[in-house]
Amino acid sequence: MSDVNVKCMKNGPLEVVGEITITDDKGQVIKDGQKTHHLCRCGASAKKPFCDGSHSRIHFTS
């Protein structure tokens, strides 16, 4: 397995770089094969678990 790096972006999402598989609560793959993912941590994204930039609109701070 290759290395995976998770970076907390200032006032933004988690940036995950590396080969990972993301599944829903039923185990179904919801995104696969990408090398970089941006995961929401502000809670306002309409595309959860992925970031849609809502952190800027709601002035999320970390």
Domain range enclosing 11:
5-58
Q: How confident is the model at residue 1 (pLDDT cuts 50, 70, 90)?
A: low
pLDDT for res 43: 98
pTM: 0.87
**3-state SS assignment for residue 23:** strand
pLDDT for res 31: 76
Residue type, position 38, single letter: H
Q: Note if the bond before 49 is cis, omega within 30 degrees.
A: yes
Q: What is the pLDDT of residues 34-59, one digit of tens each?
A: 899 999 999 999 999 999 999 999 99
pLDDT for res 12: 98
Q: How many domains are there within the chain?
A: 1
